[in-house]
Structure 1
Amino acid sequence: MSDTRKRPDFKTEEEERAFWEHHDSSDYVDWCKAEAVTLPNLKPSTKTISLRLPESLLDGIKQEAKKRDMPYQSLIKYWLANEIRRNQGTT
């Protein structure tokens, strides 16, 4: 749609949220002209999980992390992410 209305100015986030709950954004934005956005500094949401590992495995992971001078949890995440990328063929 090329005939879009001017979006109102909002004083607060709450005011804007209330507005968009009752209005269609396609009346205000020409989505055909929208471009993809990259947010390089946006940190993905995380979720805490509990993972039971044999003590010997955890000790080995901690030793490997110490060699790399990084927290062992970060090393586990790194290994998991690499394995997923490898299995998806995107390395």
Structure 2
Amino acid sequence: MIRSELLQALAKENSGLRADEIERVADVFFDEIAQRLADNGRVELRGFGAFSTRERDSRRGRNPRTGEAVDVPAKRVPYFKPGKEMRARLNTD
């Protein structure tokens, strides 16, 4: 699902809201998650999962085009851990 499909689904479920209101809700939701992660925090959505960040050490990489060795700096990357209910829904047999 892409953002526009999400907005359409929200509009369908919330006919009392205008399109710009739905878009604003989505913007605030995603901005808050991004800001919390940027502040090195954690976001937990019960039944869905948890977003956090992980540290990656600096390392020696390789430019795939030239084969030249390059230094890759240390960085933080986003991480998602699905919740118990999400895993159960995905693995129903």
TM-score, normalised to structure 1, is 0.29
Q: As a proportion of its length, which structure holds more helix? A: 1
Q: As a proportion of its length, which structure holds more strand? A: 2
User: Which has the higher Rg, Structure 1 or Structure 2?
Assistant: 1
